[in-house]
Amino acid sequence: MAESVLWTLVACADEVPEGGVKSCDVNGRTIALSRCGGRYGAIDNRCPHMGGPLAEGEILDGLLVCPWHGREYDPFSGECSLGAPVQSFPVELREDGIYIGTPDAPPG
């Protein structure tokens, strides 16, 4: 059975500049919303390496860099070349802003 998705408005379309990252509280989760190459990505805000807040990092060469120890994450898929990935979430740009989709249940 497919998991239902809850879509939450998190930002205005112009709120996250190109190369920017914003922390968003969504449905019981803290998510790092980024804009890279004209696209929006959403991944879990907590770096699994040591818990660094990814939304306080920066986009360099198309990757979201953890501000604590420099681990690099794909801002769209959450993949990391040096370790465990982080969860990614779907993003939709709609007429009234940017939405992030999360499972319709708080994290366990």
- Give me the pLDDT at residue 106, please: 61
Neighbour tally for 23: CB within 10 Å: 14
What is the side-by-side order of every strand in the sheet holding 88-89?
Answer: 21-26, 29-36, 39-44, 88-89
pLDDT, tens digit, 9 for 90 and up, residues 53-71:
999 999 999 999 999 999 9
pLDDT tier at 82 (50, 70, 90 boundaries)?
A: confident
Between 105 and 86, residue with greater pLDDT:
86
Per-residue pLDDT averaged across 71-78, rounded? 97
pLDDT, tens digit, 9 for 90 and up, residues 14-66:
899 999 999 999 988 999 999 999 999 999 999 998 899 999 999 999 999 99
pLDDT tier at 2 (50, 70, 90 boundaries)?
A: low
For 35-66, b/e burial (b = at least 16 CB within 10 A) is bbeeebbbbbbbbbbeebbbbebebeeebbbb
pTM: 0.91
- Give me the pLDDT at residue 103, please: 87
Domains of the chain: 5-102 (2.102.10.10)
